[in-house]
Amino acid sequence: MKESIRSLIAGLLLVIVVCSSVIGANTEAPAPYQFPLKVAASHTYLVDKTNRAFLLMGDVCLPLLSKLSYDETITYLDTRKSQSFNTVLLNLLPDQAVGTLKNGKAPFLTNDLSKPNPAYYDYIYKVVQAALSRNILVGLVVNWPEGSSSTSAPSAYQKLGEYLGKRFATSTNVVWIVDENSRNRNNREFALALKKLAPRHLVAATMPTITGGTGEVTADQTWLDFGLINSYFASQKGTAIRPEVPSTEVPSTEVPYSYLVARHESLKADRKPFVMAELSTDTSAVAPRVLSRQQAYWSLMEGGMGYCYRSQVSNFPRNWKNRLKEEGVTNMTRITTIVKGFPWYLMKADTSLSFLVNGQTVWGDSSYITCNYLPNHRMAVMYIPASRELEVDLTQLEGEYFRAVWYSPRTGKRWLGGHYPTGTNQKIAPPAEQPEWDWILLIGNAPK
């Protein structure tokens, strides 16, 4: 009921809010999130303590604890905070090649999982507190040591979960992330033990798109709260997944585009919240000007709750400080700006394909347009990967008059579009003739 009321209000006021942001009328910084987070009643996104939707904009910097000193970590957190990131993903345990934190502390005494080294986790707690003071969520990725599953008893994982649950119970800005094999008994024992002592902490699982995602993998596992879908960046057309029916087949040879995966995930009856996360791909090395934007917008428009970006800085080369402002990061800042301008968490995908009459490509194509509505159909939002003229059916929206607002993810610029009556199809073209540009188009109910 509350979401329905919020939807009605958002539908009536959206265009006014967006138009105000276009002319710079709304310049106040958003209020800080109030941790801890929890799963929303709809099971489609996360909310903070005040039930405010949390748009998860993450930076994948897994080896940070092993590579940076504390002072360098603070520099990194401050920079990412200024770039609109509200989440960082860190490996809980050091890489095998390093074996310790930057300060030389090892995670276990005598390499025994059941004997954690307090000094090691005290330092991580210190970093978590520094992130909290900056209103940043910390996702601790539980990267088990190689071979530990065969050499350590389940009780060792349970003891570690108990220890970490107790040590971080008061850390409200922590979520825990287990690896792709969420059926692993060790992950389950660890998570259950941790949640027993830190019941407000959320646990997620990372999964590549070639698995069934959160629906098949975690539907019967109440200890898992959300999923991180690792798409590895599609380099060819996707799978035979249909837009309106979740496929029961697991893609085997192709990596699908993120909108295919997100639609497949969001239509599951037993779905959980999910976020697209690039845990294994160097985003900026592929094509930062295009792919990072496509991955983020596609997944958000199809039911995701954010995006986790990985850059060339993520492995912390010697010149990492000089590369903190690469182009892909600018994309993330702009994504945050535009998506927070409308109620993304209420949007529903146009699975009937009825709003966009002309201008669409085939399902599975690299320039496929994703479209979604508010539940009350007072607003539609489209992500257009390649510029072209569109024709839309305004009878699919509720209201008598509508205003279009264009946003360029490439430049950050916004334009007011046309003012249209209902009852007719309208041809709408981007405001700038730039064939290679991608666009966001918002069409919402507006005063006459």
Task: State mean pLDDT over 227-238.
Answer: 61
Q: Which one has a higher pLDDT value, 285 or 86?
A: 86
pLDDT digits (tens, 9 = 90+) for 368-386: 999 999 999 999 999 999 9
Distances (CA, A) of 305 to 121, 145, 298: 29, 30, 11
pLDDT number for residue 113: 85
Reading the block at residue 384, the tokens are 């257009």
pLDDT number for residue 287: 52
Reading the block at residue 203, the tokens are 């646990």
Tell me if 51 sits within 8 A of 445, measured CB to CB. Answer: no
Rounded Cα distance between 175 and 201, Å, is 6
Instruction: Please calculate the CA angle 260-329-312 and round it to the nearest 5 degrees.
Output: 90
Task: State mean pLDDT over 428-432.
Answer: 92
Residue 291 phi, psi (nearest 5): -65, -40
3-8, Cβ contacts within 8 angstroms, sequence gap of 24 or more: 3/41, 3/42, 3/346, 3/375, 4/375, 4/376, 6/343, 6/346, 7/343, 7/346, 7/374, 7/375, 7/376, 8/376, 8/378
Task: State mean pLDDT over 393-398.
Answer: 94
pLDDT number for residue 27: 47
Task: State mean pLDDT over 205-233.
Answer: 67
What DSSP designation does 120 have?
H
Tell me if 217 sits within 8 A of 211, measured CB to CB. Answer: yes
- For the chain, give the mean pLDDT: 82
Q: Is the pLDDT of residue 317 over 80?
A: yes
Instruction: Please calculate the CA angle 314-318-322 and round it to the nearest 5 degrees.
Output: 75
Task: State mean pLDDT over 92-120.
Answer: 86
Tell me if 206 sits within 8 A of 248, measured CB to CB. Answer: no
Q: Which one has a higher pLDDT value, 55 or 324?
A: 55
Q: Please, which pLDDT band fits residue 255 given cuts at 50, 70 and 90?
A: low
Distances (CA, A) of 140 to 143, 206, 332, 400: 9, 12, 21, 49
Q: Is the pLDDT of residue 247 over 50?
A: no
Q: Find all residues with CB under 8 Å of 346, minimum gap 6, and list them.
A: 3, 6, 7, 10, 374, 375
Across the strands, what pairs with 384? 439
Q: Is the pLDDT of residue 245 over 50?
A: no
Domains and CATH numbers, the chain: 31-339 (3.20.20.80), 348-445 (2.60.40)
pLDDT number for residue 223: 84
Q: Is the pLDDT of residue 7 over 70?
A: no
pLDDT number for residue 238: 38
Task: State mean pLDDT over 54-64.
Answer: 95
Q: Find all residues with CB under 8 Å of 31, minimum gap 6, and list them.
A: none
- For the ranges 148-157, 314-323, 377-386, 393-402, the lowest mean pLDDT is seen at 148-157
User: E strands within 217-341?
Assistant: 226-230, 274-277, 306-309
Rounded Cα distance between 406 and 384, Å, is 11
What DSSP designation does 30 have?
P
Q: Is the pLDDT of residue 142 over 60?
A: yes
Q: Which one has a higher pLDDT value, 52 or 31?
A: 52
Tell me if 59 sits within 8 A of 89, measured CB to CB. Answer: yes
397-402, Cβ contacts within 8 angstroms, sequence gap of 24 or more: 397/355, 397/373, 397/422, 397/443, 397/445, 398/11, 398/445, 399/445, 399/446, 400/448, 401/445, 401/446, 401/447, 401/448, 402/443, 402/444, 402/445, 402/446
Q: Is the pLDDT of residue 309 over 80?
A: yes
Task: State mean pLDDT over 142-169.
Answer: 82
Q: Is the pLDDT of residue 103 over 50?
A: yes
